[in-house]
């Protein structure tokens, strides 16, 4: 019985047979002990422990991180290599083979084949994503990892960045790459999270672009108790809403006028008083104010927003908050909620809370309704919720006027202002640098510290808080060309360039991409409706695929992938995604998959032979019935 068990398993205490009994008597110690059962148990225990830890790690950090730090790590691959060595040694320990070893051989060779299939996929397989938009085509997919790419007139080159954060992998002074022209690129610094900071410089050669540095302070008993600084500019390419600041009941704007008449019109349009709807447009300092009374049910055209119409649908003297219907939209609003009219008697002890429902309609007839509360502000960003609005802020005044401070650069390039208080009184004149302007409420003061008639904007990058959202990694790179040097900051996903005497050099810090042997073009994408009326249960994309001179139109779904040129293309857009005209596809090339399928089938057959066919367990036995 002992001999029979030892023939089936890679036992450690295998009985040595006398010469001529069919067993190789002398084996290298490494083969004997590396193929033992005890070694197999230890290795399998380590593998199971690693997989358990990896499972919890993936829940915390995501699939990409676990692939990099576990399944792609040298120690994990080394562990799989030791398991393969253990299996191979167990096979060699059975030489010369006999009929009773067939089941044992099939099981162990199948296990080796499964590992080999995984190795083939790791070496020659690929996996990535394609983000397609309507009417656009691509033959590249985004793959794991990042790269630094540089190009000049002599050609381009890329270097893959180390997995993980750059500051942990590279120290300052690391040479990134060198182009055929001899230009060298050296890493000076790396930030895993940085923010873009617009810096304005006065340049007499630049176009008119009034910018002013504003300091807002709060004071009590003549002492400063709070302070904030910012720069407002009429043309701010980094922030289309950078020409104005909107507080809860106070607006601060800066703009320019080409004539005295235009400047007067801008000051006159600062609003008629309480009970008005105010709209501020991106990149436009003009104030568009419309009285609510007399405009309910009428379409209103907003100058500067051609192609759109606005209608005041209904107003309510009192309103209450209702449940947020669209959480994604609510998070994008400064005012997270909606309102509906209710009878005054429902809230007898609450203050009056006027509300106005508005409807925006574009040139294609698409509409969107929003509710604005008095004193509240909503922001309608461009292309939000699939709608092409580019209104910066929409506000409703209640029993009092909104306080407004408007600065306008006249044709003489001097900066004039007009301040409208809540009681309707006004103040106007020329802005004086260094003067403190009391706003008359909440102990607030405005002070203007610098005025730039011809502001030129530069983008600087600086380190940000590690978990501050909306920022991205960036690297500072020194470009060396002979005796010349240039220093520049390259943000992730951005493109920067520097000029030398011999020409321009461009640089990119980007996601790695891989060229595909086919091209995909998105025709349309949309949701798959549940036949039982349960809503959207998935997404599908209709694409045109081109490969080898042939063209075909196919539909891609999550469980119905497209097979083309050795690749499989899956639909990866989440079912709850509400946008149109965009599709996320997952692309996989797995050359070792068929090897593993065959090996798994053989493994099942081998286990059957070992446990159920006595012919392959003892020479003179017959197959168990």
Q: What is the pLDDT of residues 533-586, one digit of tens each?
A: 767 778 888 999 999 889 999 999 888 899 999 999 999 877 666 566 788 899
| Bridge partners, residue 191, by sequence | 474
Token readout for 285 is 């300092």
Q: What is the pLDDT of residue 390?
A: 54
Range list of H helices, 19-101: 29-34, 37-61, 63-66, 74-92
Place of tokens 């809503």: 535
Q: What is the pLDDT of residue 347?
A: 36
Q: What is the pLDDT of residue 10?
A: 41
Three-state DSSP state, 272: coil
Q: What is the pLDDT of residue 283?
A: 62
Token readout for 488 is 């520049």
| Bridge partners, residue 340, by sequence | 320
Q: What is the pLDDT of residue 17?
A: 46
pLDDT one-digit tens code per residue, 501-544: 878 999 999 888 899 999 999 988 888 877 777 677 788 889 99
Each domain of the chain, given as residue ranges in start order, spans 2-125+593-616, 129-139+514-589, 141-194+465-512, 207-271+401-453, 275-340+352-400
Q: Kind of pairing, strands 403-409 and 250-256?
A: parallel
Question: What is the torsional sign of CA 183, 189, 195, 198?
Answer: negative
CA–CA gap between residue 578 and residue 332 (Å, rounded):
15
Q: Which of 397, 399, 349, 344 is nearest to 373 (CA)?
A: 397
What secondary structure does DSSP assign to 204-248, as a single string? TTSPPB-EEEEEEEEEETTEEEEEEEEEEESS-TT-TTTTEEE-S
CA–CA gap between residue 586 and residue 557 (Å, rounded):
11
CA–CA gap between residue 538 and residue 559 (Å, rounded):
10
Three-state DSSP state, 450: strand
Three-state DSSP state, 515: strand
Which H or E run contains 611? helix 593-612
Q: Which of 225, 242, 314, 226 is nearest to 280 (CA)?
A: 242
What secondary structure does DSSP assign to 364-424, as a single string? T--EEEEEEEBT-EEEE-TTGGG----EEEEEE--SSPPEEEEEEE-TTS-EEEEEE-TTS
Q: What is the pLDDT of residue 425?
A: 85
Q: What is the pLDDT of residue 343?
A: 32
Residue numbers of the chain with a pLDDT score lower than 50: 1-26, 166-167, 322-351, 383-388, 619-625
Token readout for 533 is 């009326």
> Selecting from 1.10.10, 2.60.200, 1.10.238, 1.25.40, what CATH number does the domain 207-271+401-453 have?
2.60.200
Please, which residues have CB within 8 angstroms of residue 43's CB and are 6 or more apart in sequence?
Answer: 79, 82, 83, 86
Q: What is the pLDDT of residue 374?
A: 65
Which H or E run contains 612? helix 593-612
Instruction: Burial-class residue 429 by CB neighbours within 10 Å (0-12, 13-18, 19+).
Output: exposed
Please, which residues have CB within 8 angstroms of residue 468's CB and are 6 or more apart in sequence?
Answer: 193, 195
Token readout for 153 is 């007139």
Question: What is the torsional sign of CA 302, 308, 313, 316?
Answer: negative
Token readout for 617 is 């367990």
Helix axes 74-92 and 37-61, enclosed angle (nearest 10): 160
pTM of the model: 0.55
Token readout for 462 is 């600086």
Q: What is the pLDDT of residue 586?
A: 92
Place of tokens 């562990």: 79
Alpha carbon distances (Å) from 337 to 47, 97, 292, 312, 367 = 50, 76, 21, 19, 19
Q: Cα 180–186–188 angle (5° rounding)?
A: 165
């Amino acid at each position: 019985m002992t001999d029979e068990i030892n023939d089936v398993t890679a036992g450690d205490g295998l009985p040595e047979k006398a010469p001529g009994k069919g067993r190789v008597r002398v084996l290298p110690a490494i083969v004997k002990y590396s193929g033992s059962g005890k070694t197999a148990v230890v290795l399998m225990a380590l593998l199971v422990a690693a997989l358990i830890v990896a499972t919890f790690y993936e829940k915390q950090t995501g699939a990409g991180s676990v692939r990099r730090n576990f399944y792609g790590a040298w120690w994990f691959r080394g562990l799989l290599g030791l398991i393969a060595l253990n299996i191979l040694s167990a096979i060699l320990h059975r030489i010369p083979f006999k009929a009773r070893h067939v089941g044992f051989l099939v099981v162990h060779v199948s296990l080796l084949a499964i590992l080999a299939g995984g190795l083939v996929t790791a070496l020659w397989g690929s996996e990535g994503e394609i983000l397609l938009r309507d009417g656009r085509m691509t033959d590249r997919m985004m793959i794991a990892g990042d790269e630094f790419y540089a190009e000049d007139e002599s050609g381009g080159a890329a270097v893959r960045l180390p997995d993980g954060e750059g500051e942990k992998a590279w120290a300052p002074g690391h040479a990134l790459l060198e182009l055929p022209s001899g230009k060298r690129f050296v890493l000076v610094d790396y930030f895993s999270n940085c923010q873009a900071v617009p810096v304005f410089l006065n340049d007499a050669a630049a176009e008119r672009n009034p910018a002013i540095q504003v300091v807002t302070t709060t004071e009590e008993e003549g002492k400063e108790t709070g302070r904030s600084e910012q720069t407002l500019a009429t043309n701010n390419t980094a922030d289309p809403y950078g020409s104005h600041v909107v507080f809860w009941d106070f607006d601060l704007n800066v703009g320019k006028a080409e004539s005295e008449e235009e400047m007067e019109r801008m000051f006159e349009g600062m609003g008629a008083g309480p009970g008005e709807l105010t709209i501020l447009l991106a990149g436009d300092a003009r104030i568009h104010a419309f009285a609510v009374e007399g405009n309910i049910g009428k379409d209103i055209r907003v100058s500067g927003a051609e192609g759109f119409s606005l209608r005041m649908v209904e107003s309510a003297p009192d309103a209450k908050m209702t449940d947020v219907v669209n959480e994604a939209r609510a998070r994008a609003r400064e005012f997270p909620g909606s309102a509906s009219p209710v009878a005054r008697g429902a809230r007898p002890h609450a203050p009056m809370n006027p509300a106005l429902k508005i409807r925006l309609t574009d040139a294609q007839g698409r509409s969107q309704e929003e509710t604005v509360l008095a004193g509240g502000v909503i922001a309608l960003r461009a292309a939000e919720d699939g709608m092409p609005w580019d209104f910066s802020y929409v506000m409703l005044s209640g029993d009092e006027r909104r306080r407004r401070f408007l600065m306008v650069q006249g044709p003489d390039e001097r900066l004039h202002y007009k301040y409208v208080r809540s009681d309707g009184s006004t103040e106007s004149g020329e802005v004086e640098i260094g003067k403190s302007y009391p706003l008359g409420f909440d102990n607030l003061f405005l002070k203007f510290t610098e005025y730039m008639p011809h502001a030129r904007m530069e983008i600087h990058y600086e380190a940000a808080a590690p978990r501050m959202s909306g920022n991205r990694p960036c690297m500072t790179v020194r470009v060396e060309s002979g005796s010349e040097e240039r220093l520049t900051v390259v943000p992730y996903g951005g493109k920067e360039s520097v000029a030398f005497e011999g020409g321009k050099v461009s640089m990119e810090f980007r996601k790695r991409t891989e060229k595909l042997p086919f091209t995909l073009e998105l025709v349309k994408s949309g949701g798959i409706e549940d036949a039982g009326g349960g809503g959207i249960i998935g997404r599908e994309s209709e694409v045109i695929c081109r490969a080898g001179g042939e063209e075909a139109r196919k539909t891609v779904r999550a469980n119905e992938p497209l097979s083309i040129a050795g690749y499989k293309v899956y639909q990866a857009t989440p079912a709850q995604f509400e946008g149109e005209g965009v599709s996320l596809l997952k692309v996989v090339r797995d050359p070792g998959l068929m090897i593993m399928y065959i090996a798994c089938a053989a493994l099942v057959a081998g286990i059957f032979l070992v446990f159920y066919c006595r012919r392959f367990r003892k020479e003179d036995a017959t197959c168990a019935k």
